[in-house]
Amino acid sequence: MVRNNKRGIMSFNFISLIPKIIFLVIMLMACVILIRVFISSKFDTKNIQADLLISGFIYGPGGINYYDYLTGRTYPTLVDVRQLNGSELDAAFYYPLNKMIAAKVSLSTSQSRGDPALAEIYYNKEWYDNWVPLLYMKGLGGVTEYFKTVPVTYLDAGGVMKLGYVHFQVLQPTG
């Protein structure tokens, strides 16, 4: 009789372990899911790359800013319409076989992007033209678009200073 009771106690102990094991498995799965959610091995640097390129256009030598040949000084946020040239941008920001980033830079008198531009130049025009049709394609094989508008003072063809806006449209392939 004592032997039968020992078997009953052992089977009761094993049966009572089943909910504990199920709870342990659920908690383990929850921990794994939380770790996967909060630790990511992918970094999205597209916006930072676009901002860096735009800062180079505005503040760097050879960008869209006014360059005084007499003193050798550049004037940030002062744009000379006569000096806007896409080939100068490609030469100033030279990356051989650049298949990573392209940009359209347009100067206008209004803050909205849809208005006609006074001047328009392209950085890496070949790839810009290739990527424009892919703008609405989502996921791998598509293109991400980044916009930024910067208020500037510009010199028109007569050399008169006016207020305007430079609109940047930067395209980068996804994937």
Distance of alpha carbon 21 from its chain centroid, rounded? 46
Q: What pLDDT, on the 0 to 100 scale, is given for residue 34?
A: 92
- CA 133 to CA 165: how far, in whole Å? 26
pLDDT tens string 94-150: 777 788 899 999 999 888 877 888 889 998 888 999 999 888 888 788 899 999 999
Rounded CA-CA distance 126/122 in Å is 9
The pLDDT of residue 32 is 94
Going by pLDDT thresholds of 50, 70 and 90, the confidence category of residue 170 is: very high
C-alpha to C-alpha distances, 139 to 103, 136, 142, 172, 175, nearest whole angstrom = 20, 10, 6, 12, 8
Whole-number pLDDT of residue 147: 94
pLDDT for residue 2 is more than 70: no
Residue 174 binned pLDDT confidence (cut-offs 50, 70, 90): confident
| pLDDT the model gives residue 129 | 92
Q: Which of 147, 152, 146 is nearest to 166 (CA)?
A: 152
> Is a pLDDT exceeding 80 seen at residue 62?
no
pLDDT of residue 25: 96
pLDDT tens digit sequence for 138-148: 878 889 999 99
Residue 4 Cα distances to 7, 9, 10, 41, 122, angstroms: 5, 9, 10, 57, 89
pLDDT at residue number 4: 63
pLDDT band at 23 (very low <50, low <70, confident <90, very high): very high
CA contacts within 13 A on the Cβ side of 89: 25
> Is residue 72 very low, low, confident or very high in pLDDT (cuts 50, 70, 90)?
confident
- pTM for the full predicted model: 0.72
- SS3 state at 36: helix
Rounded distance between C-alpha atoms, residue 143 and residue 153, angstroms: 31
